Chains A and B, each alone.
Chain A
């Protein structure tokens, strides 16, 4: 069969011609505002700027960041903004924000147990509060409140300890009674006959969610405006090291010289670091998630239930956003898989019986980098000029602004930022783990 060559392309051209200003090369970014929106509506949206340039690599940069996820882009932004470095590139093998930042369940909280973690995640959370304004991009931070359900006596003790640990760091986390929980989430199963009767919840009122894609886009746009080259479709294929020091990298778009290289490649960190001969305490595995069809508001907060491995929130569009467990075995497949999701769904239907009649719309996986103690790794490596920021595993979205901030500071000043210091890669050999998995040690 041959294709009739008719009007096809011409027709679309007619349509395209309507937009006179195609792809302007912008000098200064126009701020987004209601006024802009109205103005642009009047001009039929012909004059919106590009959010970012389609940058191509230069020969050399002061800092090349590998990975245009939230962490990489935030690092670039703060390097430019706070440390006035302008000769920076972020190289991305696919499309910016296409890694875990673009596929996570967007939970933001800082109610951790260990003081090192609290400092890091609370810095990030507090930066999220003003991030839309900072970036001039609505990232829809929604501090709608977050509940960690308490379903066992063991959790009760752990959560009390967390409440106290948080209070000691000045965080607002509270322990709620089952009645208070019911009031916040009326559809919760609070029957005393439930398999795990509800004993209360740890509540962080300023925990919540943000729009995942917008975080990546907002940082990309803001970084681009400060002169950062965000180079997409540019996979790093090699890292050049001379006499223990980085000199540049090989990419799909050719070699690039670099004084410093910061690898922020999440699930692919082991692969990229291997190019510099650095072996990592990481395992990559697909973490599973799903969304339901959108429905009218039914859950107004984020709910996590560690004892039964389920967490859930409802997006502004109305889907229930549900996180599952990880696959059993290492992989880089990003595929959806079943066992983890079935487990999660049984837990959530048990906790929220009315969701039984809703429907799953889509499921997916993201390759997360699980570090040996499940806490992130931030800092310089044994190779001079080679920095790494990884190991965020299942929970790094919430950390993006904080992580970018302290990582940029560490790179710019050639010494770890105080909040980053405990997260150095050397902690493993030293036995100085930062372990948040207390709830895993359930026993009597």
Chain B
């Protein structure tokens, strides 16, 4: 046979493919031809490729089972290099010219797979076998067993390159979201929009109509597809409706928040080149949701039911009708229900040989069966497939053995029926997944032998086959009613009697199905270990039985012990069959056995789409100060601080980071330096009760602060731990400006609001965060005053007029400024705030004016060194959420006069006054050239190294360029009482001795900052 051996004759062109055009694709490096409209599955089938993959555990050869997103077997890898994408279902991949596909989970090739040995050894790998072995010797798990298992597991390969494609997020709201574009969904969308609602109709595939093209029957007087077409046209033309094809509703979350994944360009890479994203994640908030997701057909559980060529009956006729492809030349049908007769009839009409319909029911009777009889199809009732004959190591089937199954459970005489494919049907399961994501309760439907939706607290209803209704007339009515009711509920219209009428439909009536969870097989095959339930994960009936027998009796235990339903299809087709078996094993009805939990997403969803645009430069914003551009041009080496990126230091030619930091420190100590302090948090607190309020917020007394003065303040949590520090400025009688650390700016503002609104709501306080209004520049160093004095100003900067801790506002270099004479470096220092728009101007002006002093700019690391030399604490270094102001020797800043402040009561706990608490101290290494490592642990003098907790640790450590020796700060148990003692620190192999000293290393009397 040449070309496409399984394409049907010209009358059956396949309604979705364009046979007049050809495109080509490769599968495992072999080139094939397809037609536009083909899926990879239909194209492979058309080309006679039956073997498309290997199973997870036993590497059994596998072919197509389904036709949609429930496909368990046909997983392929699409693309190469940075576009490589594993584990796609061939049934969903739309073929485009040049598509590159490969099979997975095989080595060296799909045809000859070494892993297939596992299949021969499958008896040694029952459910849970790995829990029982691989334990000896102890070290072997990590070094021998696990690496082998890991390599063997894992389906397809992942790319190692970054994803070149773009993804989007979009938000949308609607009155009614309809999930699924089958007859039920179309009816619901039509009714909802005609009732006046804004409607979204999302459909997973690229087309509307769902399975109505293979469901038979008539709507009004036409094929259901014609009705679907006309409704679709109306919906598409309406400006109240948005129809989204190739869009899977993946997740339903609380309060009708829904995620939908739209595959925008997967079917046509040209769209990406044209500027479209590859996929788009829709975030929907729907007032009402209608799930019309249809039903999923389940396989029958017979021995060797996983062989290539054995597929679901609805899929078999779907391939014929939609793609003009036959699953085989001789296709037997195996069923426990009437729907599969449609497959037999339609295949027969398409010219395919249907040698037998094997029906487990002893004497079924319905019009469909009559139709089948009428066209001359042969049936075996009360029979099952009791054996499958394969060739080429199980890659193709050659025929089936069919035998009557007697009421005793015994088999009658088997008959061999040659065939190369089997279409099987075990009935349908309503697609209840989305209904269950937010706690929807299921009920068991005896007629369907499946679960269907019960009650939910969400505004969500289920219609059509998803609701367990399979007859077209009833589906239409269910859809219309659901749509109208949902629309009325959303629009808050009165739930009057439904006005809209569903059109009349007819469909052959079906007889009842027979629940059959295990089809006996010939001889030894009855062990159940070839009766596959979960195809992808190779879980068999025997595994389920074994699990239950070993005590894993909860359905959730069975799932986890056997891995049933845990594969990429999440057991869409197989779970109910397993429940049936479990129910029999435990002798408990299925509803009591229950089902495992349904979880989002409905189908696996690309992480790229979930992340959307939030990557690369859009991943977590970088905040920029008004002076940021200057830092960038001037070789700042940055460090992330909160969302800011602050200069750590500025690198000059040939300098190391260390050099640069020391240069910057010395510039401040010897002349003058500039720091961009714009990131500091700034909060204005005003109102008649502002002072009273800040007395509560800070441990210090703020109400005694005079207007025009600054005070260093501490803030604790009510647990007593130090949370933040900063300078508070009293701008005027009833207006304060609170500075916070950069990383805490937003947090402290909201903490203020929280206390104000929830604890003291009647106090007259107004809190205005103004961080971004101001650029702030620290001018620090002995020449700071001179530098400022060289600029035009209306302010008297002389030391008597502008004292340490004074605040003044005025103009400087023609700019409106607020100047705070505060110091975090211990030098003469001013912090100058200007409206942010002037930030760069002021920076420039200061740089220019400072030229004659050799002004330098300094970054956060120099800032750290400078403050450490002065023994100032740094929030986050000296604090870690367990440290109190008392520990830090800051009790002078903890008011004893105030009756209450946040943290006061807790600070009175005896625990915080224990003499062995860790105190903030200086650490002076005996050898001044040795810098203590960050975080080094202090060990008791003379003591043997024991496991007893260390005395404390190094919290900050630097080489001080000013003092030309190392300095360190640390938290040492009872430290303040140990001044002068020596402690030791482990640094790698070395022990470093250091003396416990006062934390202030430089200018102990504070003369420098007071000049």
Contact A358 B584 (CB under 8 A): no
Contact A293 B86 (CB under 8 A): yes
Tell me how far the C-beta of B878 lies from the nearest C-beta in chain A, rounded to whole angstroms: 10
Contact B986 A363 (CB under 8 A): no
Contact B138 A130 (CB under 8 A): yes
Contact B527 A44 (CB under 8 A): yes
Question: Given contacts A142-B142, A346-B614, A355-B607, is CB(A37)–CB(B447) below 8 Å?
Answer: no
Please tell me which one of the listed residues A11, A33, A433 contacts residue B516 in the complex, with CB atoms under 8 A apart.
A11
In the complex, whether B156 has a CB less than 8 A from a CB of chain A is yes
In the complex, whether B149 has a CB less than 8 A from a CB of chain A is yes
Contact A298 B158 (CB under 8 A): yes
Question: Given contacts A136-B135, A342-B611, A444-B742, is CB(A7)–CB(B560) below 8 Å?
Answer: no
Contact B604 A359 (CB under 8 A): yes
The residue in chain A whose Cβ has the minimal distance to the Cβ of B608 is: A356
Residues of B within 8 A of A138 (CB): 130-135, 141
In the complex, whether B949 has a CB less than 8 A from a CB of chain A is yes
In the complex, whether A244 has a CB less than 8 A from a CB of chain B is no
Q: Mask for B334-364, Cβ within 8 A of A = 1, else 0?
A: 0000000000000000000000000011101
In the complex, whether A28 has a CB less than 8 A from a CB of chain B is no
The residue in chain B whose Cβ has the minimal distance to the Cβ of A333 is: B439
In the complex, whether A252 has a CB less than 8 A from a CB of chain B is no
Contact B936 A164 (CB under 8 A): yes
Residues in B719-755 with C-beta less than 8 Å from chain A: 719-720, 724, 741-744
In the complex, whether A187 has a CB less than 8 A from a CB of chain B is yes
Please tell me which one of the listed residues B150, B161, B584, B955 contacts residue A318 in the complex, with CB atoms under 8 A apart.
B150
Q: Give Cα distance in the complex from A342 to B612, angstroms.
A: 9
Please tell me which one of the listed residues A12, A336, A359, A440 contacts residue B253 in the complex, with CB atoms under 8 A apart.
A336
Residues of B within 8 A of A213 (CB): 560-561
In the complex, whether A316 has a CB less than 8 A from a CB of chain B is yes
Residues of B within 8 A of A19 (CB): 545, 549
Residues of A within 8 A of B950 (CB): 115, 165, 168
Tell me how far the C-beta of B720 lies from the nearest C-beta in chain A, rounded to whole angstroms: 7
Q: Give Cα distance in the complex from A295 to B154, angstroms.
A: 4
Residues of A within 8 A of B910 (CB): 430
Binds B, one of A146-154, A176-184, A400-408: A146-154
Please tell me which one of the listed residues B560, B563, B639 contacts residue A153 in the complex, with CB atoms under 8 A apart.
B639
**Which of B362, B553, B617, B939 has the most C-beta atoms of chain A within 10 angstroms of its own C-beta?**
B553
Contact B160 A186 (CB under 8 A): yes
**Which of B135, B552, B554 has the most C-beta atoms of chain A within 10 angstroms of its own C-beta?**
B135
Contact B934 A161 (CB under 8 A): yes
In the complex, whether A62 has a CB less than 8 A from a CB of chain B is no
Residues of A within 8 A of B934 (CB): 156-157, 160-161, 164
Residues of A within 8 A of B410 (CB): 14
Residues in B846-874 with C-beta less than 8 Å from chain A: 860, 874
In the complex, whether B38 has a CB less than 8 A from a CB of chain A is no
In the complex, whether A61 has a CB less than 8 A from a CB of chain B is no
Tell me how far the C-beta of A120 lies from the nearest C-beta in chain B, rounded to whole angstroms: 13
Contact B514 A354 (CB under 8 A): no
Question: Given contacts A295-B155, A442-B642, is CB(A15)–CB(B615) below 8 Å?
Answer: no
Contact A48 B610 (CB under 8 A): no
Please tell me which one of the listed residues A2, A211, A362, A363 contacts residue B512 in the complex, with CB atoms under 8 A apart.
A2
Residues of B within 8 A of A433 (CB): 719, 882
Question: Given contacts A163-B935, A356-B163, A441-B879, is CB(A316)–CB(B146) below 8 Å?
Answer: yes
Contact B153 A6 (CB under 8 A): no
Query: How many interface contacts (CB-CB < 8 Å) are there between A and B?
Result: 416
In the complex, whether B446 has a CB less than 8 A from a CB of chain A is yes
Contact A357 B551 (CB under 8 A): no
Question: Given contacts A41-B124, A431-B911, A443-B744, is CB(A51)–CB(B551) below 8 Å?
Answer: yes
Q: Mask for B510-552, Cβ within 8 A of A = 1, else 0?
A: 0111111111100000111101000000000110011001111
Contact A95 B362 (CB under 8 A): no
In the complex, whether A112 has a CB less than 8 A from a CB of chain B is no
Residues of B within 8 A of A170 (CB): 947
In the complex, whether B655 has a CB less than 8 A from a CB of chain A is no
Contact B133 A37 (CB under 8 A): yes
Tell me how far the C-beta of B890 lies from the nearest C-beta in chain A, rounded to whole angstroms: 16
Contact A443 B405 (CB under 8 A): no
Contact A441 B155 (CB under 8 A): no
| Chain A: interface residue total (CB-CB under 8 A) | 136
Residues of B within 8 A of A337 (CB): 253-254
Contact A98 B911 (CB under 8 A): no
Residues of B within 8 A of A115 (CB): 949-950
In the complex, whether A353 has a CB less than 8 A from a CB of chain B is yes
Please tell me which one of the listed residues A13, A153, A294, A440 contacts residue B881 in the complex, with CB atoms under 8 A apart.
A440
Contact A164 B141 (CB under 8 A): no
Residues of B within 8 A of A1 (CB): 447, 512
In the complex, whether A280 has a CB less than 8 A from a CB of chain B is no
* Prevailing SS type, chain B contact patch: loop
Contact A354 B135 (CB under 8 A): no
Tell me how far the C-beta of B378 lies from the nearest C-beta in chain A, rounded to whole angstroms: 20
Q: Give Cα distance in the complex from A153 to B648, angstroms.
A: 10
Contact A11 B405 (CB under 8 A): yes
Residues of B within 8 A of A10 (CB): 407-409
Q: Mask for B80-114, Cβ within 8 A of A = 1, else 0?
A: 00011111000000000000000000000000000
In the complex, whether B875 has a CB less than 8 A from a CB of chain A is yes
Q: Give Cα distance in the complex from A298 to B550, angstroms.
A: 34
In the complex, whether A132 has a CB less than 8 A from a CB of chain B is yes
In the complex, whether A296 has a CB less than 8 A from a CB of chain B is yes
In the complex, whether B136 has a CB less than 8 A from a CB of chain A is yes
Q: Mask for A10-27, Cβ within 8 A of B = 1, else 0?
A: 111111101100110000
In the complex, whether B892 has a CB less than 8 A from a CB of chain A is no
In the complex, whether B599 has a CB less than 8 A from a CB of chain A is yes
Q: Give Cα distance in the complex from A444 to B512, angstroms.
A: 73
Tell me how far the C-beta of A293 lies from the nearest C-beta in chain B, rounded to whole angstroms: 5
Q: Give Cα distance in the complex from A16 to B527, angstroms.
A: 9
**Which of B361, B641, B742 has the most C-beta atoms of chain A within 10 angstroms of its own C-beta?**
B641
Question: Given contacts A355-B158, A357-B84, A359-B605, is CB(A168)–CB(B939) below 8 Å?
Answer: yes
The residue in chain A whose Cβ has the minimal distance to the Cβ of B622 is: A195
Q: Give Cα distance in the complex from A298 to B382, angstroms.
A: 51
Tell me how far the C-beta of B159 lies from the nearest C-beta in chain A, rounded to whole angstroms: 5
In the complex, whether A85 has a CB less than 8 A from a CB of chain B is no
Q: Give Cα distance in the complex from A81 to B528, angstroms.
A: 39
Q: Mask for B900-912, Cβ within 8 A of A = 1, else 0?
A: 0000001001111
In the complex, whether B897 has a CB less than 8 A from a CB of chain A is no
Contact A8 B516 (CB under 8 A): yes
Residues of B within 8 A of A267 (CB): none
In the complex, whether B630 has a CB less than 8 A from a CB of chain A is no
**Which of A10, A160, A163 has the most C-beta atoms of chain B within 10 angstroms of its own C-beta?**
A10
Contact A15 B541 (CB under 8 A): yes
Question: Given contacts A34-B133, A356-B607, A443-B744, is CB(A435)–CB(B881) below 8 Å?
Answer: yes
Tell me how far the C-beta of A286 lies from the nearest C-beta in chain B, rounded to whole angstroms: 11
**Which of A6, A32, A144 has the most C-beta atoms of chain B within 10 angstroms of its own C-beta?**
A6
Contact A444 B360 (CB under 8 A): no
Q: Mask for A332-352, Cβ within 8 A of B = 1, else 0?
A: 010111100110011111100
Known interface pairs A296-B157, A362-B600, A442-B642; 12 further A-B residue pairs with C-beta atoms within 8 A, sorted by A's residue number: A10-B407, A18-B526, A34-B133, A161-B934, A189-B162, A318-B154, A336-B251, A355-B158, A362-B570, A363-B601, A364-B597, A444-B641
Q: Which residues of A contact B (CB under 8 A)?
A: 1-16, 18-19, 22-23, 32-34, 36-38, 40-41, 44-45, 48-54, 94-95, 97-98, 102, 113, 115, 129-130, 132-133, 136-144, 151-154, 156-165, 167-170, 186-187, 189, 195-196, 211, 213-214, 217-218, 232, 292-298, 307-308, 314, 316-318, 333, 335-338, 341-342, 345-350, 353-364, 430-433, 435, 437-438, 440-444
Can you list the 8 inter-chain pairs with the closest CB atoms, starting with the nearest? A161-B935, A318-B154, A353-B162, A356-B163, A359-B604, A95-B554, A12-B584, A160-B934
Can you offer 18 A-B residue contacts whose CB atoms are under 8 A?
A1-B512, A3-B449, A7-B362, A8-B516, A8-B517, A15-B520, A40-B126, A54-B551, A133-B135, A136-B135, A160-B935, A295-B156, A349-B611, A357-B607, A360-B606, A361-B601, A364-B597, A443-B744
